[in-house]
Chain A
């Protein structure tokens, strides 16, 4: 394929700062894959906004060269909604951890999916709370011993893929940070998709999760191939149910439907931040405004 030989500045989206993640942390894989994908697709740093919540993974925007918002815990998605809906020309990418996205912020996950907000949302799923040093996460595997589940986790983990499919996400995928090339391809597709593109990224926490390690995943992950029909939601649901024995990675589901800013009465025609301010500047007749009250 021609694109392979195309040259691009692989470091354009990399910040000068060094990430403060533990060496070997799964999050490096996503950082590398996504900055490369952005460069390759010729995005401009000034046109991209990374938005995160709180967690090890959520410090991600600081390690990129682009605009960014390091928001409070769990609120990356509504913040991204605000950015995208006043300037749909920006490329908005929300990132964070499993605690951030599937725990405290899970409500926003469902609503952003059903709205088909045109952003890419990537969750660095390490099945543990890293930053707070090893508590259970909503995606922790049953039986995992954590600081807060000394007898082993006794709550069924969230299934983020099934959840997002059910919530109406129009692009649903899973990647593995141990396979950056494959992950980058998924991200490129997600960035080009109009609508809510969700990628659950298996990103081992080498410090606090001693069960779901690179080795553990390598034994289990396999790539979805052309036999999987990405437009078939039932097939996608079926794949999302595959358990610990085999873990499919790749694009589960992809469908075309208008995104939120295609439908919103203002953004369907206009870029709000480029519009003049106030009644007069917008050419609105004052008498008409007042007539509503007479």
Chain B
């Protein structure tokens, strides 16, 4: 017993029912929590709720604690929060780490046969928590002593009974999942049923959720990384090379699993230097290619990124940012690679940086990335982060058939291009590409400065006056493309909330959802007038388009998950503009709506 007020009363919690419910599910690594977490999300999704999920690993807090946050609602929402309605604790570490996130009157379901290190009685009593104790391990053993993970299905049974929801949909999910493994299915079904039974025999408290309002049975539960993978295949990805790293690895494993089906050559490279080099080779030979990594691996790619820019070789590089520098906090998010993405590699070279803000946008931005890469023959970096890569959301099925623009490809003599010149100087800086085995287009891709025919200017031509001129022309050519991209491809930030507001919050990338919720909450409070400018096209920054947005701002605050204010500095360098205030969350946790609200309260002038 961890509390004295273990619930047995016959009441229903929260009488009008929850229209948004957040729960967290925590235990030890290896207990299959992540997996069952995904099934649960699919379950709520099938019932017609909008769902978000987020996995957590806190390997620094005693051996491998993992958790899964699941939040569902009758309405779409921007971001999951850190405040919990329900905590399901498989072990006592879960209590240590998450109990304080439970709201007052919240509920705790806990595995009563776990060892307890601390005394939570006071905490539980003072916050009037409802406690449900289930001997999960013992119950699991009764079904099959050799399969302790059955505790998961048992807990799901308890949960569904407690929430008074339809068990049938979960049975259907299990049947679909284990259609070819009858024995496992049977055991899980028994566990599910036993969970329900145990709960109803021992407890009568119910926790009612409002009925789901929208028919959402077709919705998908999908993560940012998987969306990037789908976006890439939809865009015609033919080659992926990657070296494993959190939080980019799931792109590699997802596509490795579907390589044959989706027609993508998927190779696990020996390191990131190799991964990007392989992509350069594949792109040279005519394939759309991509690599993905995070900070440490991205740093290793720096030389080859410059090569891609110099040789005008299209390639898409996903940087799923994690907390740096160095090893940093590998399983936590940060938005601190914007500057390094802009300046990565020696010399001066063009590249494009796009930062998706939510799971759906991971798809859209990836398809844009491939077209921009090939249209302008530049490397494109997708700046995602841990909080987006591994976050799952309900997404409405969408069109997978996207526009594919491969740019200028030379396949033989035309009026405009009689002879193939790989780096033909042109008004907009773009020249034709040709792939082997196209005849009469044989050329040598070279990272040294080169002339229109891709002949190297180093070696015997270096230092000759003619070389100097070509060098200048080629430099201008590469940067003409960057200006064209700025003008034609890059979008200004998106406004959320009233066009004119007293207070504006600026943000970029994955924090969009949390800030949106903050804006809604502030605007629903009397008299407040807030809006948000969320940036997603970051480099080349379309500063002329941004100016008019900044002109309308009264008071402003920027939220960036970094120390130095990287977007702020970028805006300042282009537009000589700075926000009035700033929030830099640095704990490693992604900023949730309640975190941001608490931080905002410190700026008394706003309230």
Contacts and interface: CB of A to CB of B under 8 A. Distances in A.
Interface string A246-271: 00000000000000000011110010
A266 B240 CA distance: 12
Given A81-B281, A277-B288, A279-B401, A59 B456 contact: yes
A279 B277 CA distance: 26
Interface in A36-59: 44-51, 59
Contacts of A231: none
A225 to B, nearest CB: 37
Given A279-B401, A294-B220, A272 B307 contact: no
A211 B385 CA distance: 54
A245 interface: no
Given A278-B233, A279-B233, A286 B400 contact: yes
Interface string B263-283: 111110111011101111111
A48 B289 CA distance: 21
B445 A277 contact: no
B433 interface: no
A51 B285 CA distance: 12
B432 interface: no
B436 A82 contact: no
B203 interface: no
Given A70-B446, A267-B265, A90 B285 contact: yes
Contact of B278 (A46, A79, A290): A79
Interface string B476-507: 00000000000000000000000000000000
B30 interface: no
B559 interface: no
B435 interface: yes
B285 A78 contact: no
B47 to A, nearest CB: 13
B414 interface: no
A270 B445 CA distance: 26
A124 interface: no
Given A69-B284, A111-B274, A47 B265 contact: no
Nearest to A63: B444
B230 A107 contact: no
B445 A272 contact: no
B273 A270 contact: no
Nearest to B459: A20
Nearest to B310: A72
Nearest to B443: A67
Q: SS class of chain A's interface: helix, strand, loop or mixed?
A: mixed
Contacts of B397: 286, 290
B444 A69 contact: yes
B263 A72 contact: no
Interface stretch (B254-262, B467-475, B538-546): B254-262
Interface string B286-297: 111100000000
A270 B263 contact: yes
B303 interface: yes
Interface string A55-94: 0000101100111111110110111111111110110000
B455 A17 contact: yes
Contacts of A49: 284-285, 436
A15 to B, nearest CB: 9
Contacts of A280: 400-401
B506 to A, nearest CB: 32
B233 A82 contact: no
Contacts of B273: 74-75, 78
Contacts of B259: 264-266
Contact of A277 (B236, B281, B307): B236
B262 A282 contact: yes
B239 A278 contact: no
B404 interface: yes
Contact of B282 (A85, A111, A277, A289): A85
Contacts of A267: 265
Interface in B519-537: none
Given A49-B285, A293-B226, A71 B239 contact: no
A54 B238 CA distance: 28
B154 interface: no
A293 B222 contact: yes
Interface residues of B, number: 72
A273 B230 contact: no
Contacts of A78: 241, 269-270, 273-275, 277-278, 281
Contacts of A20: 459-460
Contact of A72 (B221, B284, B307, B404): B307
B281 A69 contact: yes
A266 B442 contact: no
A273 B443 contact: no
A294 B239 contact: no
Contacts of A1: none
Contacts of A67: 436-437, 442-444
A71 B46 CA distance: 51
Contacts of B280: 69, 71, 79, 82
A86 B315 CA distance: 14
A193 interface: no
A14 to B, nearest CB: 12
B373 to A, nearest CB: 14
Contacts of B395: 293
A87 B436 CA distance: 9
Contacts of A270: 263
Given A83-B285, A107-B271, A289-B230, A272 B239 contact: yes
A25 to B, nearest CB: 13
A189 interface: no
Nearest to A261: B265
Nearest to A287: B397
Contact of B281 (A74, A83, A294): A83
B260 A66 contact: no
B49 to A, nearest CB: 14
B209 interface: no
B448 A70 contact: yes
A202 to B, nearest CB: 24
A93 B41 CA distance: 50
Point out which of A68, A71, A279, A293 has the most chain B C-beta atoms below 10 A from its C-beta.
A293
A68 B445 contact: yes
Interface string B419-453: 00000000000000001111111111111100000
Interface string A141-169: 00000000000000000000000000000
A239 interface: no
B307 A46 contact: no
A108 interface: yes
Contacts of A51: 281
A231 B220 CA distance: 55
A228 to B, nearest CB: 32
Nearest to A81: B278
A82 B402 contact: no
A17 B448 CA distance: 16
B267 A272 contact: no
Please provide the 8 A-B residue pairs with the shortest distance between their CB atoms, ordered closest to farther.
Answer: A82-B281, A277-B236, A78-B274, A293-B220, A82-B282, A68-B444, A86-B287, A78-B277
14 contacts: A47-B437, A49-B436, A82-B283, A85-B282, A86-B286, A87-B286, A87-B287, A87-B436, A89-B437, A277-B236, A278-B401, A289-B230, A293-B221, A294-B42
Given A83-B285, A266-B264, A278-B400, 17 more contacts: A47-B437, A49-B284, A49-B285, A62-B456, A69-B284, A75-B273, A78-B278, A79-B277, A82-B280, A86-B265, A111-B274, A264-B259, A266-B260, A277-B236, A279-B234, A284-B262, A293-B395
